[in-house]
Every structure is written in structure tokens, then in C-alpha cells.
Structure 1
Amino acid sequence: MAKGAAGGAEDEELISAADAALEGCKDRITMAIRVGKSRGIWGKSGRLGRHMSKPRVLALSTKFSSKGQRTKAFLRVLKYSSGGVLEPAKLYKLKHLSKVEVTPNDPSGCTFMLGFDNLRSQSVSPPQWTMRNIDDRNRFLVCILNMSKEILGRLPKLIGIDIVEMALWAKENTPTVTTKASTPDGPAASVMTQNDLRVTVERDLVSQAEEEDMEALLGTYVMGIGEAEAFSERLKRELLALEAANVHAILESEPLIEEVLQGLEAASVCVEDMDEWLGIFNVKLRHMREDIESIESRNNKLEMQSVNNKALIEELDKLLERLRVPSEFASSLTGSSFDEARMLQNVEACEWLATALHALEVPNLDPCYANMRAVREKRAELEKLKTTFVKRASEFLRNYFASLVDFMISDKSYFSQRGQLKRPDHADLRYKCRTYARLMQHLKSLDKRCLGPLRKAYCQSLNVLLRREAREFANELRASTKASRNPTVWLEGSVGSNQTANNADTSTVSEAYSKMLTIFIPLLVDESSFFAHFMCFEVLALVPPGAPSANADKNGSNSDTNEDDLSPIDLDGNDIKPNKNSAELAALNESLQELLDGIQDDFYAVVDWAYKIDPLRCISMHGITERYLSGQKADAAGFVRRLLDDLESRISMQFSKFVDEACHQIERNERNVRQMGIQSYIPRFATLATRMEQYIQGQSRDLVDQAYTKFVSIMFVTLERIAQTDPKYADMVLLENYAAFQNSLYDLANVVPTLAKFYHQASEAYEQACTRHISVIIYIQFEKLFQFAQKIEDLIYTITPEEIPFQLGLSKMDLRKMLKSSLSGVDKSISAMYRRLQKNLTSEELLPSLWDKCKKEFLDKYESFAVLIAKVYPNETITSVDEMRDLLASM
């Protein structure tokens, strides 16, 4: 009993330790017991290898699940941590326990295995649990069996365990006092309590009746157990008797068996009939199912066909709506007039026709409709309507353009008349054309090919009007301009009465040319711009934004603009932004050439007329043309730019013609064999240059500077040729004319760079001519003096100065003779030199400066002579340089 009490206290400790290890779980520990865990490794002696086991604690627990209103049973394995405290290791659900097998290799019977059917790896042998004694094993297994029977309603398979022996052990070790406790699963539960056992079960393993039968059986045979063979024979005899009784009973029941067999046969026949009927019904049901499927398939097809037919009808309605031609549009396209009152209806018909054609194109129309017969026929009908309308509209517009121009030409009030210059006014013409601007745009969208003939007809008609206006204006402009005609003979030798004519005022000629450009260049630009927009050219605007047109009034407002929108439109009515299409631009310029061709002749006539009156007016006209040319930046105004370029070239050509004639007049001066004094073309060139500078008035200088270069080059070349006709007076002619050139152009050279360059060139040439001329005069008068000095200079480089007096012709006696002949009357010689300098000089104002140069040159030469004599003849006395300077100063 002491042992049992100690075991009960130990069990209580284990249960408390298990509860502590499972803290936080809602499980109730029913039993806890110490075991040893091993993997079935045995020694050769057949005893368990104790050194391989690990200490564990097996605990049986229950938990009530409120969700399923039932109790769950668990087997928990607890192990000892390094601190000796229990902690959970594994958890098994008791419902998966399939077998309990006692290991046969353990003679003590304390080792067993628990088999679970939900283990993942069945290839690994389950652990073996070893109890301390057989009572612990039985107590643990009985608890498991009771819980399986009461909670799960079944028992696991027992291998190596006698269930009867287990029941007897349980009976002997179960206390007589049994307490009843109600559980959620059913009636009262029995709790068996012994000193070393604490097991709770709901019912016994063996019922009371079974137990009494087993006790009676054991009591009957208890005396014969010792006689094994006699007992065995007795059992065999009783078995044979029982089998014979069973056979007899079976034979006695043969009629019943026959009756049962007949009933079975009748039932078999009925079953066969039933099977046949079921086969027939199955075939009928299969046929019926096939019929139902066929009906459903046809029904689905009919529904789909109905939906498709409805959608097809809607599509066909839409298509028919597209194909329908409204009667009012058809009448407008085929037979309506093009009067101004009917233009709104015509434009609406055009818009509808363009939209209808566009709607029948493949991108806008489903491709499956494109080849339908109705669509093809309707497209052909629309194309026929388009062709008919385009033909009618084109013919009307061609006649309309011609009639407008014919009406204006027949009215002379539109043109300049005698005594009255008329500014061309196309406001009414453009207003009438704008009425058909939208029609032109729709014609382009319908058939772009029709624009070519229309543009040509417009150009031909308007070209006649523009040329007539320019011709009448130019004729009246020239007739009303009063200007004295200046001769083209500017630089030839004869002066006569033409000198006064060169001063005549011809500014009205330039003003007339400027008026011609002022009136017609903006007009031509406006006409080009209007033509480009009206004829639907997709190019940039010709007139810059804000620029006034030719028909603007005095306040700067433009009466032609903003009256109608000429911007090109697309099929949706939106404005098309112009681009810089080179092909379109080339076509526009080609049309403008046809529109404005021939008008340049009247501009040329004004240029030629102005040239005949005053050739120098070409300078003013050239500047005016440059200003207009720089203002024409638009690429599309190609003809106007070409016209201005041609005018500039023609003006330059006429001015070049004048320059060539003037140069020819200069060259004719060299035909005279004897020409002295200042050439006539030099002062005339100064007058010409002064007037040219007046005409240029701050404009481009290229034209004038080129003329200056050509004039002066010819003048200098001609002057050199004239001078070479008589070498004796060549330097005199050169210095007089170069001096005259400088004097006449002094003021202009200060402000004109090109003339300043030639001024410096003439100054250098003048200095050179003066030097040569003065040297000749000095040498002629003092020839012996300077010849003697030259001989000394020739020898002084080869012999010493002391040896020179001993040379032939250079002795002291020769020196004295030379000095006596050259300097004895030096004042007379100097006077003679002055008279020689004055003799052929026609410009008296040049004499003082030339005489000063001559005295300076002579004094420099004499000073060199004196130095040379002092070096070679130190003891000889000559007139000193100071005395000679004083003598020259007094002359």
C-alpha cells in the first residue's frame, strides 16, 4: 500500500508538471506517466538496450469543442529540457490511433508501439515506449482503450495483448467506489481510482453478463484444466457434435430453402423483365435526349438568326440612309443655277456630296460592304453626280472670270486717262470672286484635277486686265511728268552749252518710277496672295501679317480683307493649315508667272524713259528698287521678286551703258597728239561724282562705287597714255592733272571711301611726277656740277679720297674750272631754273609749291656735293651750303 500511495503522489506531480508545460492550452490532463523512448534497437541477448532510450512523459488529455459539441482526445509527448523542466515535444490525435502492439522481443512485456494512420512517413519505424513495470503499461493501455471506446466509439487493434487478461487486470485493480459524472457526450462516466491508478472511463470493457458467462465457463472447466489431453478431446467431441447438429438443422430446413430458391428465381425473372424494360426506357430516353438536344440546338440557331437578322436590318437601314440621295441636293448638283442667291444651296449640296463619297470609302465603310452591288451602283451614281457638277461649275466659273474682266475692260473709267492717273481698284472684282471661294474649295475636295483649267482661265483673264492697267498707267505717268532731258555726254572734251543742262532738276523722273512701284508692287503682291487663297494653294500667306494691301484706304484700313474667309477647309469644314509643299509652291509660282507675265514690259518702259532723260537717275531708281526688293520676303511672291530683280538688273545695265559711254568719251581724249594742261574730263568727273552722291542719298553704294572704280581707272590710264605722247612734257602733264584731280575731289574724298582711295593714288602719282620733273630741270641747269659729283661718287668706293684728285679729269684744276663755269653766276642759273619751271606750266597755282620743292631738292643735292668736296678736296673753297640757302631764300 505504501508503494501505491507513493505512485499516486508521483502521478499527481506528473499531472501538475504536464499542466504547467501545457499552460495556455484548454486540454484537461487525464493521465501522465513516465516512459522511455527508443527506435527498436536491441542487443544480442534479446533485451532492450537501455542506454539507447530517452526519458519522456506520455500524457492523455481531453478537450471539449464547442463548435462540434464533442470531446477530442489527444496523446501528448513531453520531454525534459536542459533545466529538467517538461516541455511539449509532439502531439497525436487519438482518433488516428489504429493499433497497439506489444514488442515480442521484450520478455517483460513493458515495451509497446502505438501505430497512427496519419503519419507522413510510414517507412520510418514508429517509436517504442518502455514502461517501468507491467502495471504502468496496463494502466496506460486500459486508459487509452476506455477513452477510445467512450469518446471515439471504437477500439484500436491490439497485437500481442490478451483482451481478456486486460479486462481481468482492470477488474482486480479497479476500486469498488465509482463516481458518476455527466459529460457533454452522454450519460454518467465511470472514474476508476486506485492507489496507483487514476483512469476515467465511461463504460467497462466487458459487460456484466459477459463477465458472468466467462466466470461460469471458467468454473465449469476449472477442474479439468490440468488434464490437457482429456480436455482437448472433450472439446473436439463437443465441436463435432455441434457441427453435426448444424448439418442436421440445415437438412431439416431444405423445404424452406427450396421455397427461398423459388422466390429467388421468380425475383430473378422479374429482375430480368425489369432490366429489359429499363433497357427499352433507356433507349427511348436516349432518343428523347437527342431530340431535346436537337430542338435546343435549332432553338439556339433560331435565336441567333433572329438577333443577327435584327442587327442586319439595323445595318442595312444605316447603309440605305447612306445610299439615299436627297432630292433637293440632287437637283442642285445636276441642274441648279450658280447665281449668288443659289450659292448657299450649291455649297450645301457640295458638302453633302463630299461627305457621302467619303462615307463610302473603305476606311469609313465596313470592308464587307465595299463590294456590294448596291454600294457599287450608289458610288457610281455619286461619281456621276460629282463629274456632272464639277463640269458645270468649272464651265460657269471660266465664263464668269472672262465676263468680269470684259466688263471692267469695256469701262474706261477703270483705267488712267489723259490728265488723270487712276489707281487700279480690284475691290469689286475680288468681292464678286469671294462669292465663289467656298465653291472653289469644295471643287478641290471633289476633284483636284479641275483646278488646273480654272487657274489657267483666271490667269488668262486677269492678265489682260493687269497689263491694260499697267500700260495705261505707265503711259499717263510718262506723259504727265515734266523734266528737262540731260545729255549723256558728260566727260568728253567739248563743253559748249551742255554744261548748264547738266544742272537741270530731274527728280520727277525718280518720283515717277517710285510711284509706279508704289502703286503696282503691292497690287501684284495682293493679287498673288488673293490668287493663292482663292485657287486653294496650300502655301504660307504672301502678305506678312499687318502689312497694308494695295487697296488700303488713307487711314490704313484694308477694304479688301476680312470680307470673307478664304482659308482652305477639309471635308469636315475645318481650316487646313498651309504648309511649305515645294511642289505646291512651284505650281503656284508657275501660275503667277502666267497671271502677271507681260506686265514687266511697262516697268521696263518707265526705266528706259527715265534713262533717256537723265542716266544718273538710274542710281535713285536702283535704290528704290532695292528697298522694295528687301521688303518682299514671302517665298510665294516669286514673280514679284523676279520682277524687282529684273528691274534692278535692267537699271544696272542701263547705268553700265552710261558708264561705258562716258569711259569711251574719256578714251577719245588721247586721240589728240598734242595735249597740254588739265584734261577736260577731270573737272567734269568731279561734277559727275558730286551729282552721283546727291542721287545716292544713303542707299547701297555698290553701283556707284563700281562706276567710280571704272571711271577713275580709265581716267588714269588715259592720262598716262596722253603723257607718253610727248615724253619731254610727260611729267608736267601728269603732275598738273593729278593735282587737278586732287583739288576737285578733296571734299568728296573725305566722305567717300572709294574716292579717298583714288585720291591717295593720285597724290602718290603727283609726288612722283613732281620729283622727276624737278630733277630734270635741276640737272639741265647744273649739269657739269652734278656730273663732276657723280664721277667722284663712282670712284670713292674703289680708291681712297686722297687718290681721287690725281685721277684724270678730277684734279684740283679741273674742280676749279667746273666751279667757275657752274657757280660763277649761280643766281642767274637759279633764275633760269625758275623760268624753265614756269615755262610750260598751265596751272599757275601749282608754281609756288613746285618752286619750293625745286629749291629744296637743289639744296639737298648741293649739300651732298659740298660734303663730297670737303672729303676729297679739303683745302679747296666753295660756296657754303648756308650761303646757297640764303641765296635761294632771296630768290
Structure 2
Amino acid sequence: MAKSSADDEELRRACEAAIEGTKQKIVMSIRVAKSCGIWGKSGKLGRGNMAKPRVLGISTKAKVKRTKAFLRVFKYSNGGVLEHAKLYKLKHLSKVELVTNDPSGCTFMLGFDNLRNQSVAPPQWTMRNLDDRNRFLLCILNICKDVLGHLPKVVGIDVVEMALWAKENTQVVTKRQGDPEDGPYYAEVTEGDMKLTVERELVSQAEEEDMEALLGTYVMGIGEAEAFSERLKRELQALEAANVHAILENEPLIQEVLQGLESATNCVEDMDEWLCIFNVKLRHMREDIESIETRNNKLEMQSVNNKSLIEELDKLLERLHIPSEYVSCLAGGSFDETRMHENIDACEWLADALRSLEVPNLDRTYAKMRSVREKRTELDKLKTTFVRRASEFMRNYFASLVDFMISDKNYFSQRGQLKRPDHADLRYKCRTYARLLQHMKSLDKNCLGPLRKAYCGSLNLLLRREAREFANELRASTKAPKIPTVWFDGSAASNQSANSAVDTSTVSEAYSKMLTVFIPLLVDESSFFANFMCFEVPLGGSSNDDSGTTDIDDNDKAAGKKTADLEALNVSLCDLLDGIQEDFYAVVDWACKIDPLRCISMHGITERYISGQKADAAGFVRILLDDIENRISNQFSRFVDEACHQIERNERNVRQVGVLSYIPRFAILATRMEQYIQGQSRDLVDQAYTKFVTIMFVTLDKIAQADTKYADVLLLENYAAFQNSLYELANVVATLAKFYHQASESYEQSCTRFISTIIYYQFERLFQFARRIEDLMCTITPEEIPFQLGLSKVDLRKVVKSSLSGVDKSITTMYKKLQKNLTSEELLPSLWDKCKKEFLDKYDSFAQLVAKIYPGENIPDVSQMRDLLASM
């Protein structure tokens, strides 16, 4: 017999490691197979219910008064490590049932009475053999009986058979090593000596002997059940007859008992008469006592009620009392900084007093009392007076602060000195009244609207003055040469390459300084305004609440309130910052006039600020940056459109030869644009490249069509110049690489057409003869072609003689014509090589046709022609 997994000490240690920290000990651990489906006829699990390897463990935990027992299920993780999966308490084990569909008898189910979903079938556990099954179930039953004091219902398993199995396999009973408090005994069976350790057999030795004696009484060799039944009936009748005889023998004793009962009855009747008399008297006494208790209870209840009423009236009077110091502070106190503590205390008291008179905090019956209503009216008047006084003071206070700063020129930029705005002192003075505003909002939420408008109106004047003075001085102090915007006009771009080297970086630096100074300032002002003016919006500026709460109603209410506050905040921010964008626009327009290409670097700078402000509360600042970015893009688009018009004007000129002027100028422009790219301005530049190159190629085609005779020469020279000037940039710029390949294809097409024209000019009669042969081969056989008109052998000889006699002079003439038409000398070697290769390919095809159609005719060999071309 194979060794049982219950004896695997490593398995037991792995199970104990999986439940480390629970202070429980593993009594038994054994490997099983878990399934959830039914057994088929073949005794195997169905495909949809494959068995899963699991380890069942029985653990115990010793307490002071009793010991707890658990059934644990362990599973293997992806790394093969044993980890805990489920836990069942053995005190809830109600049934152990054998699965009858398993012919081996090794599959059983454990039913627990505390499982929530009883409609789902419990899992089925399959042991390796009957010994493992009996050993595991005996351990569970012993623990249930000895530790928990009850046994579950056993279905389909013979308990007596299990007890006999335990008796046969029980040799030695030992205690688990270690602390005696570690728990109960556990079963241990080894293959060598088959030792089994259990707490106690299910049937004790005395019970077993009684059962054997009882069964031995009926060992009679009975052959039929009917004879056995008859014998039992006779014995029953004999016992009944014996009982009747014993009763008759005791008749004198019965008579004595009856006499005693009669005398006792007489005594009971006399006692009943006396009890009736006493009962009447006691009833009268009880009625008197109840009357007295009723009167006492009413008096006691009246006393308790009077005491409670006095206490309630005292509490109500305490609520209705208004301290005189608070009345004087709220109705006519000062709002100086030194008195703000008193104002705050008075506000807190007034808010608490108003809340205490509201229905949730005050009984509804009290709320209808005349004194309560009068006191509430008095408090409302006090609240209205205080809020009106405080609002008027705050409006004047905001205006006075800003007027003081505007009147002092030292706060703003001056000639020769850029002044960074500093609002620290302004915010410090405003924070003195921050708590006052919070209390004003709690007293009257509508009072903050006019205050917010007054604050925005005053501070807007200060911010616009600071931005205007800063922008003016920034432009005045920045020295940068102006770059002409004419790049592709042939009459005004002679010095363009020199102008392209002029440094205008100070323009971008000035724009960056404008953003560096004012964008954080505007963000801080927006955040300070949101906090100071008690807007209930998240500081991140988003109305989306990602807190993950599950209370849908509360979330909806909070989200609606935050959305309304966010809309109000955005409206107020427009009042606070509107108009300041004009100074940013002025800087952008000034920079574009100096160097339109600086739009690229300014666009990148703006994008970096936009990406940095996405998580900020200042919604107006994000809108401002988007507007500035659009302004820069529009300015750059105007420059690109004007440059495209300059390129288009080239086609209106007189006949042009050679490389067009805008081809090398575009290379200079692209080089400079690449130097200005910052951040994500790649898209802006790539769009400009697409516009430029598209217009350049379209204009080139129009110019070429104006003179069809030299169209291919003009095209191939300009496409070659485009490739040569942009070779290095195309290796690093994907958009230019695309146009580079487009120019390369157009160059090859133009070369092919131009070379064919040169070749046909000298050898047109020869190759026209070959083309006629090729056309006829599609309709007639090669043998019939020599008999066609103009294609006889005589005609062949005439064509060969007229075209190939003095072929070296013809090739020289072809080279001179090629050289004459080209204005770019550097293209001549490559074009001449292409021309020789093309001519040789055409002549090779002609020679093959002659050999096929006119066998025996002699023409110059292809190798001779190749050697001749090589020597030219």
C-alpha cells in the first residue's frame, strides 16, 4: 500500500506555514481532489467538472474553557506554493454523505448548516483510497464527539464498519509532540506498522460487549423470519399475563389506598370552603389597595411632569437669551483688525443661536410658540444688520487697498526696470478677514455675490495695470534686429542667407519672461480668490469627484453643488482677469513682427505652460493660454500663407531655366525652423513644411508645363537640387523625408523621359522599326513578319545602315545634346551613365528581335556596342 499523504510531514509543515499567525495547529493534512459536478456512468468526472488538486487540513485552537476545531482548504498557487483558500468551523458540520455515484466509495461531501447559499451543491472531495477516506472521516468524527460534544449525520457510510476498520488498524495511541495545550490527538497511520492514533473509538468496548451479548441471545439458527416473529409474540403474551397476576395479588393494598384517598378528599373540600371565604376578603382588600396606588401614581406623575417642564422652560429661556455684548458688536461694532476676534465670536454665537431655533434642533411644538417666533425675528434682523455692515466695509476695504497700490508707481515696471508684481502684502491683509467672509456666507449665502464682484473689479484694475506696464517695458528693453518676412521673392531675397544667421532669441526670451512672471501670478490669484471668497470647489479645478464613495444620493447632491460653484467661480474669474490677455497679444504681435519664425519657439513655450496648468484650479488661465496659442498659430499661418504666395508668384516670371530660387531658400528656412522647435511644436512646423513643399512642387510643375520642350530638364534639375539641399534634414525629420522620397521618384521619372527623348532624337528610325515588330507579334507569328510591308529584310538592312553607320558620331552627338540642355554640370555624369544604360538596354532588345525574326541577318553585336559606349 502506498504511503498516505497524511503521513507527509513536509505537507503538514507547508499547511502550518500557510496559516502562520493564527495560533492554530494542524491535526491532520491530506491530499484530495475537488469536483463540483456529478459522476458519470463510467465513474469518471465529466469534461466540464475536472477535478482540482486540493489539501484538506484539520486544525485546532486551544482556548481557556474549550477547544475550537476548523476544516481548512488549501490550494496550490501558480508558483506551486500552498496557500489557504477556505475555512469551515467543524461545530457547524451537520452531515457527512458518501457520493453513491462513485463506485470506489472514496468520494464524499461535507454539509455545513451555516452556509448562506444552500441551493448550491457542496463540493465533492475524492480520496486516493478507502484507508485515506476512513482515516480522515474518523479524525473528524472523533473531534466532533470529544471536542465539540456532538456527531454529524452520517449518510451512506457504515459507522460500525468504520469502527471495526479503526480497531484493526489501531495499534498504538500516542500524543502529539510538543505542548499539551496544542490540541487533541490526531490520527497517524504508516505503511510499515499500520499504527493508527485516534482520540476514542466510535463504539466503546463495553457497548460492543453488550451488543454481542444481545445478538448472542438470538443465535438460534432461525431459518425464517415468520418463526422468529411467532416466538416473540408468545413471549410478549407471557409477560402480559405475568403483569396481570401481580396486580391481582396486591388487591388488599389497593383498598387501603382508596380509603386513604377518600379521607383526604373530605379534608380538601373543607379547606376549599375556607379558601373561598378568604378569597372574598382578599379581593376587597386588593381593590382598596389598587385605589390607593392609583391616586399615588397620579400625584407622582404630576410631580415628575412639573419638574421636567421647569427644566425645559429653563433650557428654552437660555436659548432665547441674547447677550448684550454680542448685540452691541453685531449692531454697531468696529471692523478693525484688533476687533476681529470679537466679531468672529459674535458671528459664531449668532449662527449657533439661529441653528438652535430651527426645527431639527428645536421641538416642532416650541417652534410655534410666540416668544420663539419673536426671538427668531429679532435674530434675523440682527443678522441682516451685521451682514449689511460687514459687506459695505469689505467693499470699501478692497477698493482702498487697490487704490493705494495703484497710486504708488514703485509697484509697477518703469523705464529701465522690470518690476515683478508682488501681492504678498495684499493677500496678507485680505486673509485677516477670511474667517469673517466664511461666517458671512454661513449667515447669508447670497451676500458674497456683490462682494466677489467688488473684489474682482478692484483687483482687475491692478492686474491690468501691472501687465500693461510690464509688457511695455519688456518690449522697450528688448533689442533684436528685425528679420524681413520675404523669403521666396526672387527680387528681394538675395541677402536671405545672411539674414537667416541673425540671432533673435531675445524675442523668445522676452515672451517666456512674460509667461514666467504672470501665469503663476494669475494662477495664484485665481486659487487665492477661490479660497478667500469661499467657493466650494476642489483645488484641482475639476468638477469630477473621484473619491470613490458609494452613497449615490450624497454624491449627486455634492456634485451638483460643486458644479454650480465651479460655474460661478469661472464667471467671477472672467471679471477678475478679463482684459489682461490684450497685453499678452501685444507681446506676441511684437515678436512676430521682429521674426515670424519665433512663433515656433513661442508656440512650444506656450504648450509647456498649458501642459503644466491642466491640473490647476484656474480655468481662466487655461483659456488664456489656449487663446495665446491660437494667436501664435494664426500669426505663423499668415507668415506661411504669405511665403506660399511668394512661391506662386515665381510662375508669372519669364521663362526660367536651371534651379528655381525658392528651392535652396526653402532649405535655409527649414534649417532655421528646426532650430526653433521646442516641446510639441513639431506639428506646427510639419504643417508648414507640408504647405511649403506642396506649393513648391505645384509651382514647379506649372513652370515646367509653360515650356514643354525643356520641361523634363527643369523638373529633374530642381528635384535633384531639392534632394541635395535637404539630404541631412530628411534623415531626422519624418515629414521632410516623405517629400524627399517624393522628389526622388519625380526625379527618376523626369530622367527617364528626358533620356528617352535624347535617344529617340538620334535613333528614332531604328527603335520605331523595333516597336512595329513588337506590335505585330501580338497578332501574327514571327515567320510572317518579314513579309509585311516595310518590315522585309531589305527594309531591315536600310534601317540598320542609316542608323548604325557612324554610330560613334551619333553617340557623341547624343552626349553633346545632353550637355547642352543641362545647366547643372554636376548632374551630367550620372545622367550620361543612365543614358548609356538605357540605350544599351533598347539595343539589346532590338538585337534579340532581329535574331528571332530575321535569322542570318548581321547587325553589330551587343558586346561591340557595350565596348563602344564604355570608351565614350
Does residue 1:704 correspond to 2:702, yes or no? no
Which position in structure 2 is the counterpart of 1:739? 720
Q: CA deviation at 1:802?
A: 3.4
| Aligned counterpart in structure 2 of residue 530 of structure 1, from 528, 535, 541 | 528
Does residue 1:866 correspond to 2:833, yes or no? no
CA RMSD of aligned residues (A): 2.7
C-alpha deviations, 1:430-477, integer Å up to 9, x for none?
000000000000001000000100111111111111111111111111
**What is the aligned length?**
599
Whether the aligned pair in 2 keeps the contact of 1:58 and 1:75 (CA below 8 Å) is no
Q: Quote the Cα distance in structure 2 between the aligned partners of 1:770 and 1:389.
A: 92
Letter in 2 for 1:667: E
Counterparts in 2 of 1:369-768, with a 5 A limit?
369-494=366-491, 495-542=493-540, 581-634=562-615, 636-697=617-678, 699-768=680-749
Which position in structure 2 is the counterpart of 1:55? 245
CA gap 1:580/1:689 in 2 versus in 1, 3 angstroms: farther
Q: Quote the Cα distance in structure 2 between the aligned partners of 1:53 and 1:772.
A: 139
Which position in structure 1 is the counterpart of 2:778? 797
Letter in 2 for 1:343: M
Whether the aligned pair in 2 keeps the contact of 1:538 and 1:578 (CA below 8 Å) is no
Which position in structure 2 is the counterpart of 1:781? 762
Whether the aligned pair in 1 keeps the contact of 2:605 and 2:678 (CA below 8 Å) is no
Q: Quote the Cα distance in structure 1 between the aligned partners of 2:486 and 2:791.
A: 63
Which position in structure 2 is the counterpart of 1:362? 359
Letter in 2 for 1:595: L
Q: Quote the Cα distance in structure 2 between the aligned partners of 1:789 and 1:493.
A: 47
Q: Quote the Cα distance in structure 1 between the aligned partners of 2:453 and 2:820.
A: 80
Q: Quote the Cα distance in structure 2 between the aligned partners of 1:153 and 1:406.
A: 117
C-alpha deviations, 1:284-311, integer Å up to 9, x for none?
xx9xx99x99998777655544433332
Q: Quote the Cα distance in structure 2 between the aligned partners of 1:391 and 1:423.
A: 37
Which position in structure 2 is the counterpart of 1:280? none
C-alpha deviations, 1:596-653, integer Å up to 9, x for none?
1111111111111111111111111111111111111336321011111111111111
Whether the aligned pair in 1 keeps the contact of 2:541 and 2:616 (CA below 8 Å) is no
- For 1:803, what is the secondary structure of its paired residue? helix
Which position in structure 2 is the counterpart of 1:31? none
Does residue 1:97 correspond to 2:95, yes or no? no
Q: Quote the Cα distance in structure 1 between the aligned partners of 2:479 and 2:513.
A: 15
CA gap 1:735/1:307 in 2 versus in 1, 3 angstroms: same
Letter in 2 for 1:56: A
C-alpha deviations, 1:831-851, integer Å up to 9, x for none?
111111111211110111111
- For 1:97, what is the secondary structure of its paired residue? helix
C-alpha deviations, 1:842-885, integer Å up to 9, x for none?
11101111111011000111111111112222222211111111
Whether the aligned pair in 1 keeps the contact of 2:601 and 2:681 (CA below 8 Å) is no
Q: Quote the Cα distance in structure 2 between the aligned partners of 1:300 and 1:812.
A: 151
| Aligned counterpart in structure 2 of residue 817 of structure 1, from 798, 807, 823 | 798
Counterparts in 2 of 1:100-115, with a 5 A limit?
none
C-alpha deviations, 1:241-275, integer Å up to 9, x for none?
xxxxxxxxxxxxxxxxxxxxxxxxxxxxxxxxxxx
| Aligned counterpart in structure 1 of residue 811 of structure 2, from 794, 809, 830 | 830
Q: Quote the Cα distance in structure 2 between the aligned partners of 1:632 and 1:524.
A: 11
CA gap 1:580/1:779 in 2 versus in 1, 3 angstroms: farther
C-alpha deviations, 1:712-745, integer Å up to 9, x for none?
1111111111110111111111101110110011
Whether the aligned pair in 1 keeps the contact of 2:523 and 2:617 (CA below 8 Å) is no
Letter in 1 for 2:494: G
Q: CA deviation at 1:697?
A: 4.1
Letter in 2 for 1:531: F
Whether the aligned pair in 2 keeps the contact of 1:528 and 1:542 (CA below 8 Å) is no
Q: What is the TM-score of this pair, normalised by structure 2?
A: 0.66
User: Unmatched 5+ residue regions in structure 2?
Assistant: 1-240, 268-283, 543-557
Letter in 1 for 2:512: S
Letter in 2 for 1:882: S
CA gap 1:518/1:837 in 2 versus in 1, 3 angstroms: same
Whether the aligned pair in 2 keeps the contact of 1:360 and 1:379 (CA below 8 Å) is yes
Whether the aligned pair in 2 keeps the contact of 1:805 and 1:812 (CA below 8 Å) is yes
CA gap 1:364/1:57 in 2 versus in 1, 3 angstroms: closer
Whether the aligned pair in 1 keeps the contact of 2:412 and 2:470 (CA below 8 Å) is yes
Whichever of the two has the greater Rg, that structure is: 1
Percent of residue pairs identical: 77
Which position in structure 2 is the counterpart of 1:320? 317
Counterparts in 2 of 1:143-162, with a 5 A limit?
none
Q: Quote the Cα distance in structure 1 between the aligned partners of 2:479 and 2:258.
A: 137
Q: Quote the Cα distance in structure 1 between the aligned partners of 2:845 and 2:837.
A: 12
CA gap 1:59/1:393 in 2 versus in 1, 3 angstroms: farther
Letter in 1 for 2:588: V
C-alpha deviations, 1:491-544, integer Å up to 9, x for none?
222323344222211111111111111111111111111011100011111499
- For 1:679, what is the secondary structure of its paired residue? coil
User: Unmatched 5+ residue regions in structure 1?
Assistant: 1-50, 61-73, 77-91, 99-115, 118-147, 156-285, 545-576
CA gap 1:56/1:422 in 2 versus in 1, 3 angstroms: same
Letter in 2 for 1:338: F
Counterparts in 2 of 1:32-71, with a 5 A limit?
54-56=244-246
Letter in 2 for 1:308: N
CA gap 1:303/1:798 in 2 versus in 1, 3 angstroms: closer
Q: CA deviation at 1:805?
A: 2.8
Q: Quote the Cα distance in structure 2 between the aligned partners of 1:750 and 1:815.
A: 52
Letter in 2 for 1:385: L
CA gap 1:843/1:724 in 2 versus in 1, 3 angstroms: same
C-alpha deviations, 1:473-497, integer Å up to 9, x for none?
1111111111111111112223233
Letter in 1 for 2:245: P
Letter in 2 for 1:541: L
- For 1:581, what is the secondary structure of its paired residue? helix
Q: CA deviation at 1:154?
A: 9.7
Whether the aligned pair in 1 keeps the contact of 2:660 and 2:718 (CA below 8 Å) is yes
CA gap 1:304/1:882 in 2 versus in 1, 3 angstroms: same
